[in-house]
Amino acid sequence: MSNILLRGRGLTRRWGGLVAVSDVSLELERGTVHAVIGTNGAGKSTLINLISGEIPPSGGSVELLGQDITRWPQPRRARAGLGRSYQRNTIYPSFSVLENCRLAAQARFQRPWAFWQDAQACTDSVGAAREAAARAGLDELLDRSAGLLSHGQKRQLEIAMCLATAPQVLLLDEPLAGMGAEETERMLALLAELKARHAILLVEHDMDAVFRIADRITVMVNGAVIASDTPEAVRTNAEVQAAYLGGH
């Protein structure tokens, strides 16, 4: 059985005359972190949106666990094991931490016709929520209103919500955004733990973090891939240095 959980082939996205993503291919293996880096406007966010299903590709295909999901809408991909976190917090601020995770977990246990049942009493979604929150390090804060969390805790919750859907593949869009040093350490430790069970695609700007944790790095410039290799190879790649690392 293959360890490659997700395969993107020749992904392309055009907006009128502009090409946001051009012929990008990558593979995500269980137990690895595959980072995608690039300057602003390089097409990283669009790439994640193409893989997660938020926007349809102009060309190319996406395969999840051996199935072609190119035509699948986003909810279907999520239910099939493709989880995603967002760069900006998409937590529900007025709900508690537990409810945030529970609602995410509910996607796997929907049963909308059982209108007489109290959602909070559903052991399946509540159990999955507790587990996800614990893995993300939030088990002390379950009853806290999500809007009152610190920024770092909100980013943890963002990951917890992703985990509550029991994904195989994690698409993480700048999970370290806006974090201080201590919070970054905690998040990196969490990612290292998560690596074991999942395949992770990581879009990040924090270069130190990327080089510490990534097993593979893809570099994008103007929508195209200019390098896709191990961290050491990418670090010493002349083209990458010119375009990105040394250039700015």
Partner 1 sequence: MDRSKLAFVVAAFALLAAFPLVAGAYGIDLVTKIMIYAVFALSLELLVGSTGLVCFGHAAFLGIGAYAAVLLSPQDAAPSILWLLPACVAAAAAYALAVGALSLRTKGVYFIMVTLAFAQMAYYVVHDTPLGGGTDGIYLYIKPALLDKARPFYFFTLACLGGVFVLLALLLRSRFGRALAGIRVNEQRMRATGFSTYPYKLAAFTISGGLAGLAGFLFAVKDGYVNPELLSWHLSGAVLIMIILGGLGHLRGALIGAFAFALLQEFFKSEAVFGGFAKHWHLGLGLAIIACVALLPHGLVGVPGQIRARLVGRRTGVAR
- Residues lying near partner 1 in the complex (CB under 8 A) are found at 52, 54, 73-76, 78-79, 84, 86, 90, 92-95, 99, 103-104, 106-120, 122, 125, 161, 164-165
Q: Are 207 and 237 in contact (CB under 8 A)?
A: no
Pairing mode, strands 18-29 and 59-64: unpaired
Q: How far apart are CA 200 and CA 75, in angstroms?
A: 19
- Using the minimum distance from each CB to partner 1, give the nearer residue, 146 or 214: 146
For the bound state, the minimum distance from the C-beta of residue 81 to partner 1, rounded and expressed in Å, comes to 10
Shortest distance in whole angstroms from residue 139 CB to partner 1? 20
| Choice between 99 and 237, CB closer to partner 1 | 99
Which C-beta is closer to partner 1: that of 164 or that of 188?
164
**What's the closest the beta carbon of residue 175 comes to partner 1, in angstroms?**
15
- For every residue of 169-222, DSSP letters joined together read EEEEE-TTTT--HHHHHHHHHHHHHHHTTSEEEEE-S-HHHHHHH-SEEEEEET
| Rounded-to-integer distance, Cα 211 and Cα 215, Å | 8
2 or 90: whose CB is closer to partner 1? 90
| Nearest-approach distance from CB 90 to partner 1, in angstroms | 4
